Structure 1
């Protein structure tokens, strides 16, 4: 991320003149203090004027004055996943309205966590964190994040969580396949240690049991979040005897691997094999046939997560848990048997 640069001749006074407002209003907007004090239309006019003039606030000076950087980090396990890209867009849109910026980073091992969180907080270069599909790995990191983090699609007693109704989403996917007459349903799961994927597996197995169907180990495979890994795991599923008639995947990325494996083995989708994804990312509508998938409103989640974090940073009450409902979007990758 590059530092903000503003031509020396462009100041907050120029922005105020262009927008037809007071300099105080401009300061409130770019200081993240506009809520309840500056009307929405006025905020939009100020931001539009700033864009037209190429104005950016002097973040270094503002940090020295307020003790806050107005930068938050959106931390994810995989920056290449389209779901996280959409969540970033939503968070950025909300952040701009409050004078904040959002930076995307991936966190994997302990060293990543320490550099991205402990170092950033101690240097006052970051105000807070939106942590997606992860949870703080150690007590010291969790303690440092107190009041400065929102967990998304993960839970911790120490931090507020924005939870997706994962179980209901997977149950909807399974009910759809069962209603189509599928009894040999495989599960291509993500090989990541996270609550969200445990819940998907639990809901998959629960739906089979509720339908009086056996839970077959050969119909369950894990894959890393890459198309190549998913393709290999899906091939193993399809080589089971008897082969599954449907595969439900933990993400749209894994579903792409399932599509490729099906075509490797000359399966027609959906005539020979129905496939269901999870996310409803841009991938879903680009596949042929288009993918039936559990829709996660990623942009709305990014926006809501940022607003929760902003409330926490401003010492306002934040619910311990908020739930986002999910729904199944039925497209052409599923059919009856």
Structure 2
């Protein structure tokens, strides 16, 4: 079978011809070596034309030539949580601009992945890692990951990190509810033993104490990060003899359970129950009324993680440490407590 010209794969020569530059210029752009050699305007034009023509570099040939793959592993604990998908999207978009590919690795319950990490790094099958809410195995030699990994929503000595301002976000949520006159504020907590959720718990307790409010164990209910478990936990809160007037949820996924529990009782949100979440993904805008929640800039977080990792590839004098600010987005799920309107 003779193939027509239109079926021929697009090459760097084709891109160069259409962009009016040399083939070596195209190679420099896609190798990430154009800085100082090719003007930013020309780089953008080459990338635009390459995208328009559907050009994809020959990664197999490049790997043999340069000795690396330009593959970054995005490691997460739970593939079903939409938060990680949103961060991954930002990471993928940014990596693509720098000619890197991102693959997803979900650890699930298996934390013994040191051998996989070591094999991947020593064989150059993976260039680096973005560890999103995942810590390295406790017995791992961090020198293996130094300059090759960025940890997100966690910190680890020796690794570059992007931390979320969980304390500030939780404070904003609690102070919003207190400002509306709520004093019986329950905590629908994630039953996950990681620092990001421990920070939410500590800050919740501290905000109560600052206002002289007694911490009552009955006003804290724990649930797995899924709506079914959250519904069971929220039911316990709403069936108390003195139910809360507001619930602070560790995650928007848990807020779904709070909404469902309120609906079972015929309660109106927010007139009879104010609800605040944490995350601000599609869930927050899908719920009715739309959810007041602490917004995590997921796409920007993924973008920044890749930027820090690529910078570490070049030179790492000291691990990079950065705190990402969070903000409360007030929507329709919160209002003044009855009698304070």
TM-score category (smaller protein): over 0.9
The runs of 5 or more residues in structure 1 that have no matched partner are: 1-6
The runs of 5 or more residues in structure 2 that have no matched partner are: 1-6
- 1:72 aligns to what? 72
**Distance in 2, Cα, partners of 1:263 & 1:231:** 11
1:245 partnered with 2:245: yes
- 1:219 aligns to what? 219
**Distance in 2, Cα, partners of 1:232 & 1:266:** 16
- With over 3 angstroms needed to count, the CA separation of the structure-2 counterparts of 1:142 and 1:183, relative to structure 1, is same
CA deviations 1:39-91 (Å, max 9, x no partner) are: 44333322222223322112122122222211111111222322222211211
SS of the residue aligned with 1:140? coil
Q: State the TM-score, normalizing by the size of structure 1.
A: 0.92
**Distance in 2, Cα, partners of 1:146 & 1:276:** 38
Once the two structures are TM-superposed, the CA of residue 36 in structure 1 deviates from its matched residue by: 4.7
Once the two structures are TM-superposed, the CA of residue 163 in structure 1 deviates from its matched residue by: 0.8
- 1:308 aligns to what? 308
- With over 3 angstroms needed to count, the CA separation of the structure-2 counterparts of 1:316 and 1:142, relative to structure 1, is closer
**Distance in 1, Cα, partners of 2:234 & 2:317:** 45
**Distance in 2, Cα, partners of 1:148 & 1:199:** 27
Q: State the superposition RMSD in angstroms.
A: 1.9
User: 1:29, 1:97 within 8 Å by CA — same for their partners in 2?
Assistant: no
User: 1:229, 1:257 within 8 Å by CA — same for their partners in 2?
Assistant: yes
1:101 partnered with 2:87: no
Question: Structure 1 residue runs of 4+, over 6 Å off?
Answer: none
User: 1:308, 1:318 within 8 Å by CA — same for their partners in 2?
Assistant: no
**Distance in 2, Cα, partners of 1:324 & 1:257:** 28
1:118 partnered with 2:118: yes
Once the two structures are TM-superposed, the CA of residue 23 in structure 1 deviates from its matched residue by: 1.8
SS of the residue aligned with 1:80? coil
Matches within 5 A, 1:1-337: 9-110=9-110, 113-114=113-114, 117-140=117-140, 142-317=142-317, 319-337=319-337
More divergent stretch after superposition (198-207 vs 9-18): 9-18
User: 2:70, 2:101 within 8 Å by CA — same for their partners in 1?
Assistant: yes
Once the two structures are TM-superposed, the CA of residue 95 in structure 1 deviates from its matched residue by: 1.1
**Distance in 2, Cα, partners of 1:35 & 1:333:** 49
SS of the residue aligned with 2:73? strand
User: 1:311, 1:317 within 8 Å by CA — same for their partners in 2?
Assistant: no
CA deviations 1:275-304 (Å, max 9, x no partner) are: 001111121111100000001111111111
Corresponding pairs, count? 331
CA deviations 1:249-289 (Å, max 9, x no partner) are: 11111111211121122221001110001111121111100
User: 1:34, 1:98 within 8 Å by CA — same for their partners in 2?
Assistant: no
**Distance in 2, Cα, partners of 1:221 & 1:273:** 16
**Distance in 1, Cα, partners of 2:257 & 2:229:** 7
Once the two structures are TM-superposed, the CA of residue 317 in structure 1 deviates from its matched residue by: 4.3
**Distance in 2, Cα, partners of 1:190 & 1:284:** 17
Q: State the TM-score, normalizing by the size of structure 2.
A: 0.91
**Distance in 2, Cα, partners of 1:28 & 1:89:** 26
- With over 3 angstroms needed to count, the CA separation of the structure-2 counterparts of 1:99 and 1:259, relative to structure 1, is same
SS of the residue aligned with 1:73? strand
Once the two structures are TM-superposed, the CA of residue 175 in structure 1 deviates from its matched residue by: 0.2
